[in-house]
Amino acid sequence: MVPLISDNKNTGANAANMAIALTHHCQMNCRYCGISSKSFDMRQETLYKSIDILFSAQHNDIELQFFGGEPLIRFDLINKAVSYSREKAENTKKEITFLLTTNGLLLNRKILDYFRALRATVLLSLDGAPAAHLKSRPLKNKNGPHAYESIMHALRGLQERKMDFFINLVYTEKNLKILFDNVSFLAANGIKKIKLSYAVGSKFKESDACAVYGTLEEIFHAFPALEFPGSCGENEPILATPQITVDSTGMVYRGCALVLEKKYPGFNRLMRVGPVKDAPDYKSLQRTAAQQTEFLLERKREIPAVLLDNLRFGQTLKELLSARRMRT
């Protein structure tokens, strides 16, 4: 699984959104992913309670993101969540949209058709050309079938169905150099929308922001026909994103703590809000990005140095990228 934060594309910034980690199981063993595999899958009552909380928002637009592990491993839960939330949407006269975060391995014809019918957005994790992808996103079962082929198959399925989807391409300080080539590879495969995300927990420091900006700016400039969500630094600093995530255990977190839990359990605790069953409503969970940044800076003594570096890196990157908005 990738550390991804919804970019609110479908619903606009005014949507209430929530990511639900249905399971921690995944077929992959991505280098930058720190979700622990020990946890159990989400219980139905926790799932429904989470959706209830999401619908307690004042917003008219609601976005539900299926997250994990690999959420498609628990397609049964997705199905339940969809039925339940559609029913709720009808009763409350709200608009619901779905976002599926997936590694693509289980995206078969049936599932693709299911999500097309839902008009869901699919976020496919793909790190570029085969060599780069297989290096950063290996399978757990090393003798398993060639993962890349099935992901490309899923990709063609998404394209043929003209579904709303985008690629999440994760880079680290190690492969920044070949980022352009990986984007170029995706463009050559007819992909039109790519979200470029650095892996939180990788060794990016504030002083690297300029180099990363240089690389990103070149890519944005060179591929004018591609859409790059977040290219004006909207989601930076990623570490301080206030996105609400309900873990399969029923614990509510803010931001990307979940994908850092293995390596930085202390940070995980810091970002923990409490069990979803005790949450009074959506509003009580909400924070703005600025509030979240402020919160982290206040508690910086409790944050590991690597993450603090990431935070400052993100702040500087935001500053650099936000100038793009004026230009575009």
> Which positions touch another protein (CB under 8 A)?
173, 176-177, 180, 184, 187-190, 192, 206-215, 217-218, 221-226, 320
Cβ at position 195, least distance to another protein in Å: 18
Element (H, E) at 254: strand 251-254
* Residue 310 vs residues 51, 173, 217, 315, 328: alpha-carbon distances, Å: 31, 11, 19, 9, 27
Rounded Cα distance, 210 and 138, in Å: 30
Least spacing, CB of residue 203 vs another protein, in Å: 10
Distance of closest approach, residue 219 Cβ to another protein, in angstroms: 9
**Minimum distance, C-beta of residue 207 to another protein, in the bound complex (Å):** 4
Query: What is the Cα–Cα distance from 174 to 172, expressed in whole angstroms?
Result: 5
The closest of 252, 243, 144 to 197, measured between CA atoms, is 243
**Helix (H/G/I), strand (E/B), else coil: 28:** strand
245 touches 20 (CB < 8 A): yes
Nearer to another protein, 80 or 192 (CB): 192
Q: How far is the CB of 167 from another protein (least distance, A)?
A: 14
Question: Please, what is the minimum distance in Å from the beta carbon of residue 162 to another protein?
Answer: 12
CA 253 to the chain's CA centroid: 14
Q: How far apart are CA 230 and CA 168, in angstroms?
A: 11
CB of 323 to another protein, least distance (A): 8
Minimum CB–partner distance for residue 144 and another protein (Å): 25
Exposure string of 68-81, with b = 16+ CB inside 10 Å and e = fewer, is: bbbbbbbeebbebb
Q: Which is nearer to another protein, 84 or 223 (CB)?
A: 223
Nearer to another protein, 224 or 280 (CB): 224
Cβ distance to another protein smaller for residue 212 or 276? 212
Nearer to another protein, 52 or 206 (CB): 206
Closest CB to another protein among residues 223, 295:
223
Instruction: For another protein, give the closer residue by CB, 13 or 225.
Output: 225
Tell the residue number behind the tokens 């600093």, with chain if given: 237
CB contact at 8 A, 148 and 174: no
C-alpha dist (Å) from residue 116 to 104, 152, 214: 15, 18, 37
CB-nearer residue toward another protein: 117 or 305: 305
Rounded-to-integer distance, Cα 237 and Cα 194, Å: 18
CA 310 to CA 200: how far, in whole Å?
A: 7
